[in-house]
Amino acid sequence: MTPVTIGADCGRTLEELSDYLHTGSSPDAEHVHNCPQCQAGLAALRRLDDLTAELIALDILQAGRGDEPWLQNILDHLRLETRAGRAIPLAGAHPDDDLSETEGAVIALIRTVGDTLPGATIGKCWLHGDLTSAGAPVTLHLNVTAFWGHPVPGLARALRSTLSDALALHTELNITAIDIAVTDLVEDAAATPERIGT
Amino acid sequence: MTGPGKAPRRLDAASDALLAERAGDGDTAAFEALARRHGPLMRAYARRLTGSLADADDAVQEALVRCWSQLPALRDPAAVRGWMMRITARCAINVLRRRKYDIALDEETRDDPGPGPESRAVTGSSMTALGKALGRLPEAQRQCWVLRKMGGQSCEEIARTLGISTESVRGRLARAQATLIKEMEAWR
């Protein structure tokens, strides 16, 4: 391939100038500083960078918003496999019954119940222990995003008691501990609806 | 897809990391919130890579399915946006490869060189001209350029995405840049 040169006398390639522009260093910096052809080349490269940024911004604008039908249409046609996880045995009314619930369903329950508390959004959840043996000790670990203005110790207490009530009602897990990690502190989304957009 | 049709409002304001964690755990509402947030960028990116809006939507759809199935393995949930963009790029390239037998790559006339009819208001601007010049580049060069500038990929990443050598990437980027600079200077 023939390198693209800026001008007949100078001999520096556009690629070399581009590397200089984007890395800030060149073995040839002194020449570049003093060469009018190189300076013109750098100016053109900067213009192209600026125009490219504008074009990308326009492209994204023209792609449509995420709450418009084109995306909803794509989402409606996705077939997303469910994340079942392990099977948790349940005692049946009859000895012959073979009942179980999935780990995924329990984690969904934890999210749904946890989200009802005003101060937090539930993040990732882990059930540690042998879920597939009835009565085996299980610990729940969850990441939580807390909202400003809700004292964390009280929030953790409320979350623990709400979750252990819900888990006792809807599962037969032997939950021995609920570990809560507050991984983020944010402004309460519900309290600032103007930031949401629609 | 299954699950609630509308994500709770709180999810629309949640951080990328939280949404990625929840989606990784199987929360389809969190996944939809991620898709709504980054879908326009994915579509714009795929449109420039494929040169067609219909292909872009195919690529976005394929990318979202892959994102969903690979989310549980995502190591850094805060970096989910760049990760979704990389998956989108791979899917866009795949969509193009599937129809490469129909059309010789570099001679292809673009059916959608970029900005749509709604952009007529800015026709004549340098930006629009750049979009057109980009659409006229040989496809191999345009892909490298778009992966670099829109996707922020390094030459090594582009080489992996396209399955070509890093030297070829550098060569294509240099030729694309030279052509675009030459055209751009002509508009001035």
Q: Which of B102, B126, B148 is the last residue of a domain?
A: B102
In a domain, B3, yes or no: no
| Whether residues A111 and A178 fall in one domain | yes
Query: A14 and B177 in contact (C-beta within 8 Å)?
Result: yes
Q: From the list A54, A56, A78, which residue is nearest B61 (CB)?
A: A78
Cβ–Cβ pairs < 8 A, chains A and B: 171
Domain that holds residue B53: 8-102
Query: Which residue range forms the structural domain that includes residue A99?
Result: 87-195
Q: Is B23 helix (H, G, I), strand (E, B) or coil?
A: helix
Token representation of residue B150: 């829109």
Domain boundary among A36, A55, A80: A80
pLDDT band at residue B5, thresholds of 50, 70 and 90?
A: very low
Percent of all residues in chain B with a pLDDT value above 90, rounded to a whole number? 68
Pair (B75, B142) in one structural domain = no
pLDDT of residue B4: 43
Number of domains in chain B: 2
A184 with A108, same domain: the answer is yes
The C-alpha of A94 sits at a distance from chain B's nearest C-alpha, in angstroms, of: 32
Residue A121 confidence class, pLDDT cut points 50, 70, 90? very high
Spell out the residues 6+ positions from residue A27 whose beta carbon is closer than 8 angstroms to its own.
Answer: none
How many distinct structural domains can be found in chain A?
A: 2
Q: Closest Cα of chain A to B100: distance in Å?
A: 24
Same domain, A99 and A150: yes
Tens-place pLDDT, residues A9-34 = 788 888 889 889 888 888 888 898 89
Q: Do A82 and B2 touch (CB under 8 A)?
A: yes
How far is residue B143's CA from residue B149's CA, in Å, rounded to a whole number? 10
Give the Cβ contact number of residue A136 at 10 Å.
12
- Calculate what percentage of chain A has a pLDDT beyond 90: 58
Smallest CA–CA distance, residue A160 to chain B, in Å, is 19
Of A56, A62, A189, the CB nearest to B13: A189
If you average pLDDT over every residue of chain A, what do you get?
87
Contact A65 B41 (CB under 8 A): no
**With bands split at pLDDT 50, 70 and 90, how would you rate the model's confidence at B158?**
very high
Alpha helices (runs of H) in chain B, residue ranges in sequence order = 9-12, 16-24, 28-50, 53-70, 80-98, 126-136, 139-149, 155-162, 166-187
This model of the complex carries an ipTM of 0.82
State the smallest CA–CA distance between residue B184 and chain A in angstroms.
8
Contacts of A192 in chain B (CB under 8 A): 13
Report pLDDT digits (tens) over A130-144: 999 989 999 999 999
- Tokens 């021995």 belong to which residue? A176
Residue A105 pLDDT exceeds 80: yes
CB contact under 8 Å between B174 and A15, yes or no, is: yes
Select the residue of A58, A67, A76 nearest B119 (Cβ to Cβ): A58
Give the pLDDT confidence score for residue A70 in this predicted structure. Answer: 93
Same-domain check for residues B15 and B57: yes
- Where does a domain end: A52, A80, A108? A80
In the prediction, which pLDDT does A11 show? 83
Give the nearest partner residue to A195 out of B13, B47, B115, using CB atoms: B13
Which residues in chain B are contacts of A65 at CB distance < 8 A? 40
pLDDT band (50, 70, 90) for residue A44: very high
A117/chain B closest Cα distance in angstroms: 12
Facing residue for A186 by CB, picked from B15, B32, B40: B15
pLDDT of B2 reads: 38
If asked whether residues A43 and A127 sit together in one domain, one would say no
B166-187 helix and B139-149 helix, angle to the nearest 10 degrees = 90
**Are residues A145 and A99 part of one domain?**
yes
> Is the domain of A186 the same as that of A110?
yes
- End-to-end, the C-alpha distance of chain A in Å comes to 52
Task: Examine residue B1 and state whether it is found in any structural domain, yes or no.
Answer: no
* A58·B25 Cβ contact <8 A: no
- B138 and B180: one domain? yes
Q: A78 and B47: CB-CB below 8 Å?
A: no
User: From CA A40, how far away is CA B140, in angstroms rounded?
Assistant: 28
Among B102, B124, B158, the domain boundary falls at B102
Q: Going by C-beta distance under 8 Å and a sequence separation of 6 or more, which residues neighbour residue A6?
A: A12, A13, A14, A17, A37, A38, A40, A41
Helix (H, G, I), strand (E, B) or coil at A35: coil
Strand order in the sheet with A174-186: A120-129, A137-147, A174-186
Q: For B62-80, what is each residue's pLDDT tens digit?
A: 999 999 999 999 999 999 9
Determine the Cα–Cα distance for residues B159 and B79; give it in Å rounded to an integer: 21
